[in-house]
Amino acid sequence: MRPGTRLGRYCVVRRIGGGGMAELYLARLDGPNRFVKPVALKLMHAHLTDTPEFVGMFMREARIAASLQHPQIVQVLDVGEYDGEYFLALEYVHGLDLRRVLAERRGVPLPLGAALRIVIDIATALHHAHSLCDGSGRPLGIVHRDVSPSNILIAYDGAVKLTDFGIAHMTEQTHVTATGALKGKPGYMSPEQCLQENIDARSDVFALGVVLYELTTGRAAFPGDMIATMNRILDGRYTAPGQLVRGYPPALASIVARALAPQAEQRFPSAAALRAALEGFARQQPGLDTGTEGLVALLTARFGAAPQPDLDTPALTVVMPTTVVDAVSPMLVPANGATVVERARPRHHRLGVGALGVLAGGLLGWQIARAGGAPAAMPQPVDAATAPHVAEATAPARAVADAAQRPSSSAPTPAHAAATPTTDATAVAPLAAAPVIAAGLGGVTPTAAATPRRIKRPRAKRRVGAPTPTPTATPTRSADAMLPRSAR
């Protein structure tokens, strides 16, 4: 989605990241009197909107997260649908996810105080979610099922937050668990989750134990491909932290071992119990700082002091095809001062348009020809002996045509038409002579106001056996021949 795109009250600023189910964008919430607030827009992939299962998961995340009001949980501000796209408006955390922080460390463990601060805060958030009840006091049985570094956010001010309840489990849900689909990331799933058995809060305790192991050793607890990783999880096979980090505290190793126990009954019964164990260990370490100042120093030393995000968006560029117009219509001007960029059509588009123009012109000409009437009959030779009225009627018109072609001279010259056979008057006489021809054929006296019109003359009957008359040269008429007989 391009920067500047609007979804209701929200304006997209830039893309933050994405996953298999949704894309995450930094956006701006606009209000009256220049009120703006940065938010994170989580947009569901367009190709998943037609799948009821994924839409249900997306909406369930909104309902679950909206009921979780806690400082260590990313808040859901709004949920909606715009132009067929579902989205969540989430609290924007100005910081980084834990996965990126670990990648920048390149196998080096985090400072012990910072690692304990992160795990203690996430354990607090998980305990709040696990113990949440509905209005009647019944526990909702929420299990996150995807506790991993990518879903743990660390703000530049030291705040730690848990996000993405997209595949969270609830006691009353039936559809998603019935599908048998594997939910979660393989390296952080509990044994019962790998076996698709019933899960509870202790499954999230196992995942948080994996995170604790990775933060304090710099290594993944269960590396390998999916099958190898799941077998390691089921068997509880991982390298002891003391073998990876020299001087690893034995008390902390015991806490990790209990959190990663293959049997759920052997783990901490709740996230609150894990938090209490870590806080007790921290109090026993002299000079160990588990405050947020250690996280701030860690991020600043590696990433610098990050300013607040810039919420300004560039004007959207509307790409329009090149069009020749006499005047700009108000409908062609984009709103909000957007820039209009004209783009020439490809060559094959121009050829296609030209071919369509030629075809349209041909069809138009064919329709005009049909509207003009039937084609005129081919002229036939006229027998002057049998049709004297025709010859007499065409004489003035022929004389006018001869006079128009005769050069200006006092001596008469033979007309070129005299050497040709006598033909239909419509092929020789000008348009002005049409009334005369019509009068001679129809027996109607022509008038000056008569409107010319096309008259289909029947063909002259040919006599069977009679020889075809040979046309003879006709002497050139004088100027008096152009006048009617009554005026001679």
pLDDT in tens, 305-332: 888 888 887 655 433 333 333 343 444 4
Count of domains for the chain: 4
Catalytic residue among 97, 146, 402, 424, which? 146
Q: Is 50 exceeded by the pLDDT of residue 283? A: yes
The pLDDT, as a whole number, for residue 433 is 40
Do 260 and 289 lie in a common domain? yes
Q: Kindly list the distances between the CA atom of residue 79 and the CA atoms of 37, 62, 76, in Å, as whole numbers in the listed order.
A: 16, 7, 8
Per-residue model confidence as pLDDT tens digits over 62-110? 787 788 899 999 998 988 887 777 888 999 999 999 999 999 998 999 9
In a domain? residue 227 = yes
Do 164 and 284 lie in a common domain? yes
Do 128 and 253 lie in a common domain? yes
- Annotated catalytic, 424? no
Do 81 and 157 lie in a common domain? no
Pairing label, strands 22-30, 76-82? unpaired
Of the candidates 161, 124, 465, the residue with the CA atom closest to the CA atom of residue 271: 124
Residue bearing the bigger pLDDT, 294 or 390: 294
Tell me, what CATH number does 41's domain have?
Answer: 3.30.200.20
Residue 450: pLDDT band (50, 70, 90) is very low
Do 308 and 420 lie in a common domain? no
Do 26 and 44 lie in a common domain? yes
* Most confident among 22-26, 157-161, 162-166 (mean pLDDT): 157-161
Do 169 and 258 lie in a common domain? yes
Residues 412-426, mean pLDDT to the nearest whole number? 43
Q: Kindly list the distances between the CA atom of residue 227 and the CA atoms of 186, 187, 203, 223, in Å, as whole numbers in the listed order.
A: 9, 10, 19, 10
The pLDDT, as a whole number, for residue 352 is 61
Per-residue model confidence as pLDDT tens digits over 223-252? 989 999 999 999 999 999 999 999 999 999
Instruction: Give the integer Cα–Cα distance in Å for 10 and 176.
Output: 31
Do 156 and 43 lie in a common domain? no
Range of the domain at 392: 379-403+415-445+479-483
Residues 477-484, mean pLDDT to the nearest whole number? 50
Residue 141, C-beta contacts closer than 8 angstroms, at least 6 positions apart: 130, 169, 170, 171, 172, 200
Do 306 and 348 lie in a common domain? no
In a domain? residue 474 = no
Tell me, what CATH number does 217's domain have?
Answer: 1.10.510.10
Do 188 and 252 lie in a common domain? yes
Q: Is 60 exceeded by the pLDDT of residue 267? A: yes
In a domain? residue 243 = yes
Q: Is 50 exceeded by the pLDDT of residue 411? A: no
Do 275 and 221 lie in a common domain? yes
Among 70, 92, 114, the domain boundary falls at: 92
Low-confidence winner among 11-15, 21-25, 93-97, 326-330 (lowest mean pLDDT): 326-330
Residues 165-181, mean pLDDT to the nearest whole number? 50
In a domain? residue 142 = yes
In a domain? residue 372 = no
Per-residue model confidence as pLDDT tens digits over 325-361? 334 344 444 444 444 444 444 444 455 666 677 777 7
In a domain? residue 374 = no
Do 128 and 22 lie in a common domain? no
The pLDDT, as a whole number, for residue 347 is 43
